[in-house]
């Protein structure tokens, strides 16, 4: 009888442990494109007191120097990047002691199925790092942009509308916790259905040039720039 109870206890314990083991998290970011962008960044002269745009391909595709003539700009967008990739390259950014940082990251985390708690935790780690190593830098936390799922072709970008909204709620809460401005870009680019406006995108995720003009206008009108 005692042996049966022990076996039952062991089987139950294994079952409970199995239930608690999370699924594998795809935190990959260090691909050849990422490495190439990092090689470029590491070989550029350090520009002190610049405005940094930090994020993924949506940030990278912005012609920020042309959109903001006369300002010192560092474009630190990397196509396909996620919060883990941003965390891995913060040292090179704080070395420049930027004047301002505009952070926009998260859609690639969602597309890889990362849990909201994991993304939110990474956001806090990013902000903690800036607060510790570049305390005079003004941080602007930007919302994740909407998608137009009628246009996107990749399956991994489908059915993300609710996840984006939930992530933006978490990002806004984190920005408030750190007493940082939260910039709701989502509402600028979304149509009445909450989708990325069709006229602003060719593929349902990336922005056309006109959208960047709207983006900068928003930043200027709210005196973030």
Three-state DSSP string of 138-176: EEEEECCCCCCCCCCCCHHHCCCHHHHHHHHHHHHHHHH
Of residues 87, 26, 76, the one with CA closest to residue 54: 76
What is the average pLDDT across 168-197?
97
pLDDT for residue 5: 37
The predicted-structure confidence for 100-133, as pLDDT tens digits, reads as follows 999 999 999 999 999 999 999 999 999 999 999 9
Count Cβ atoms below 10 Å from residue 69 Cβ, excluding itself.
Answer: 7
Domain ranges of the chain: 29-221
CATH class of 29-221: alpha beta
| pLDDT of 6 above 80 | no
């Amino acid at each position: 009888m005692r042996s049966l109870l022990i076996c039952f206890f062991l089987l139950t314990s294994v079952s409970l442990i199995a239930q608690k083991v999370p699924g594998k998290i795809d935190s990959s970011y260090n691909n050849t494109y990422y490495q190439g962008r990092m090689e470029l960044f590491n070989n550029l002269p350090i520009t002190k007191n610049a405005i940094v745009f930090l994020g993924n391909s949506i940030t990278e595709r912005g012609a920020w120097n042309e959109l903001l003539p006369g300002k010192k700009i560092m474009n630190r967008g990397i196509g396909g990047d996620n919060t883990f990739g941003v965390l891995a390259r913060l040292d090179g950014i704080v070395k420049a002691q930027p004047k301002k940082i505009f952070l926009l990251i998260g859609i690639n985390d969602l597309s890889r199925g990362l849990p909201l708690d994991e993304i939110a935790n990474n956001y806090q780690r990013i902000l903690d790092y800036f607060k510790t190593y570049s305390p005079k830098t003004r941080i602007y936390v930007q919302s994740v942009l909407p998608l137009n799922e009628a246009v996107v072709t990749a399956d991994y970008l489908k059915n993300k509308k609710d996840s984006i909204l939930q992530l933006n709620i978490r990002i806004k809460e984190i920005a408030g916790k750190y007493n940082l401005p939260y910039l709701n870009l989502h509402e600028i680019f979304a149509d009445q259905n909450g989708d990325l406006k069709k006229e602003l995108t060719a593929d349902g995720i990336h922005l056309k040039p006109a959208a960047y003009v709207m983006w900068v206008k928003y930043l200027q009108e709210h005196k973030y720039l």
